[in-house]
Amino acid sequence: MTHKKNKSKDLSLKSLETKLRLLPKAKASQTLKSRLFATIPNKPIGISYDFQLKRDFRIWNFSTTAAAAVLIVAFMFMVNYALSNPAPISMIEQNDTSLFSGSNQQYFFNDQNDFLAAMIFPNHSKGFVTLTNEHEN
């Protein structure tokens, strides 16, 4: 009894795992093997249409994602470039000092078209915005 008790205490989980792995297994007969060989299909099965679709979808998905990523990076690069190099002001805006000449100081043209119209039709007041002249006050 004591010997059996000691033996049971020696049964660790590791040794139990080893004993389990060493238990004999059922062996299949040769007739089963022949039966299984007989189930082998004669014609090639080939890849099913569903499987092809799934495979093609995966390829398409990957290509679209890659193209979108490239476009986003290109767009960000362009925006970054545009922000760091602002467009130069037009020649008219740069060189047109007549807007600030003594006689015309009180007038500010809304846009260049109005400026041209004012040149051609001096009495036409469209597009003029009057500024308050501090010196006059």
Partner 1 sequence: MSVLRRAERQNLKDMRKGSRRAYEAVVSQHYQSIYSFMVYLSRNTSLAEDLTQETFVSAWSNIDNFNGHATLKTWFHQIAYHKFIDSQRQTKRETDLKSKLNQRIADFTETQNPLYKLMKDEHSILLHMAIQKLKPYEYLLIVLHYFQGLSFRQMDKVLDEPIGTIKWRTSKALKKLKYFLTDRAE
**Residue 135 makes contact with partner 1 by CB under 8 A:** no
Give the three-state DSSP class for 107. Answer: strand
Q: What span, in angstroms and rounded, lies between the C-alpha atoms of 50 and 1?
A: 67
Smallest separation, CB 68 to partner 1 (Å): 23
Where does this chain touch partner 1 (CB under 8 A) — which range of 17-25, 75-83, 92-100, 109-117?
17-25
User: 6 vs 123, which CB is nearer to partner 1?
Assistant: 6
Q: What span, in angstroms and rounded, lies between the C-alpha atoms of 19 and 13?
A: 10
**Residue 19 makes contact with partner 1 by CB under 8 A:** yes
Cβ within 8 Å of residue 93, ≥6 positions away: 112
Residues numbered 21 to 40 that lie near partner 1 (CB under 8 A) are 21, 23-29, 32-33, 35-37, 39-40
Where does this chain touch partner 1 (CB under 8 A) — which range of 20-28, 77-85, 90-98, 107-115?
20-28
Q: What span, in angstroms and rounded, lies between the C-alpha atoms of 75 and 49?
A: 38
